[in-house]
Amino acid sequence: MAALVALATLGLAASGAWWWARRELAAPRAFEAPPEGRRFVVAPGESTRGILARLEREGLLSSALLARVYHSRVLGDPPLAAGEYRFQPPLSALELLALLREGRVATYPVTVIEGLTYRETAETLSRAGFGDLERLLAEFEHPGRIADLDPAAANLEGYLFPDTYRFPAATGEAAIADALVANFRNRLDREIRPLLGSADSRPLRELVILASLVEKEARLEEERPLIAGVYANRLARGIGLYADPTLIYGLKLEGRWDGDLRRRDLRAESPWNTYRVRGLPPGPICSPGAASLAAAAAPAAVPYLYFVSRNDGSHVFSTTLAEHERNVDRWQRQYFRQRRGGGAAAGANPD
């Protein structure tokens, strides 16, 4: 009987100790932290014991020993992920251990806007502190990530989806390229493929090229399908696209773009000169966003063959060349004569 009483007493004591330990581990702990959270960095290869000891020294954990026992005896001693963390108070030991086990490291935002070339995208990311410019360019210049989507691609131009991303500090350039391409694939499957009719046999490459032209020409959302419709009509009739943005892209590739198109540029021998070469340019000229991809997938059924800028972000659309010439005279020649005191604009957009 005495032995049974002793065992029961030990059992109650153990049960009480476990209840106390669990309560301590689950109790939220307050600590001082800036609005972005208390920064804590776990080095690669750092031991669990060392991590927990540092957490206790920094006031983030009440008992490293108790947390260590729970982590090893109850959880089975899983690894704690390296990286930079931002801890927000109050935070219990159980919550803190979960963050470290799951590797919920701090991330930082960066926005890649629509219409950037792959080089401009690399420059944007590098300036924001995400990757080295030359290493990013090296990743973006190899098309292996999209070989199944576009076997003819020479690089990732057009497939680095513009969006706001969140990356952990020191994210590698390959991982950044993977994320941008994965986002393109996801948005393509979710938003663009459903717009394509069963009879649409266009290669994806052609759709992305057309979308990149729409991205560079359109400023108003409602005009994107109209501009895509104009280009689709011109392609169907074998009429040159006469798209200034393709010329500009070619000049950028040659390192000769200075912000102005000149008449000699419109006459230049270049595969990107859609004033001289009919059909689509050799490849995408920028990264189009979802709206431009959607417009290219489903161009508006319009009779228009021409459009010209009103110089306020909107365009005037026309069906005949005579009507287009009148619009060019009003919105380009006369407009710029008035603005510049008699000087003419160097080229209509597009003709």
- Residues 124-162 have pLDDT tens digits of 999 999 999 999 999 999 999 999 999 999 999 999 999
Same domain for 231 and 308, yes or no, is yes
Per-residue confidence (pLDDT) for residue 18, from 0 to 100: 63
Same domain for 206 and 307, yes or no, is yes
Range of the domain at 100: 38-105
Per-residue confidence (pLDDT) for residue 338, from 0 to 100: 76
Per-residue confidence (pLDDT) for residue 8, from 0 to 100: 40
Number of structural domains (the chain) is 3
Same domain for 266 and 333, yes or no, is yes
Report CA-CA distances (Å) from 310 to 63, 73, 324: 69, 72, 12
Q: Domain boundary residue among 46, 74, 105?
A: 105
**What does the angle CA 63 – CA 69 – CA 70 come to, to the nearest 5 degrees?**
90
Give kind and range of the element (H or E) at residue 316.
strand 315-318
pLDDT in tens, 43-92: 999 999 999 999 999 999 999 999 999 999 999 999 999 999 999 999 99
Same domain for 246 and 180, yes or no, is no
Q: Domain boundary residue among 192, 226, 254?
A: 192
Same domain for 101 and 216, yes or no, is no
Same domain for 248 and 329, yes or no, is yes
Q: Domain boundary residue among 163, 192, 221?
A: 192
Residue 30 lies in a domain: no
| Residues 6+ away with beta carbon under 8 Å from 309 | 315, 331, 332, 349
Per-residue confidence (pLDDT) for residue 9, from 0 to 100: 43
Same domain for 119 and 90, yes or no, is no
Q: In angstroms, rounded to a whole number, what is the distance separating the alpha carbons of residues 23 and 9?
A: 21
Same domain for 155 and 253, yes or no, is no
Residue 156 lies in a domain: yes
Same domain for 52 and 138, yes or no, is no
Residue 277 lies in a domain: yes
Same domain for 204 and 329, yes or no, is yes
Residue 260 lies in a domain: yes
Same domain for 98 and 226, yes or no, is no
Report CA-CA distances (Å) from 168 to 165, 293, 328: 10, 29, 50
- Answer for the pair 337, 343: CB distance below 8 angstroms, yes or no: yes
Q: In angstroms, rounded to a whole number, what is the distance separating the alpha carbons of residues 77 and 100?
A: 12
Same domain for 204 and 330, yes or no, is yes
Residue 15 lies in a domain: no
Q: What is the pTM of this model?
A: 0.84
- Answer for the pair 159, 192: CB distance below 8 angstroms, yes or no: no
Q: In angstroms, rounded to a whole number, what is the distance separating the alpha carbons of residues 291 and 144?
A: 26
Residue 20 lies in a domain: no
Residue 57 sits at φ, ψ, to 5 deg, of: -60, -35
Q: Which residues of the chain have pLDDT under 50?
A: 1-14, 343-351
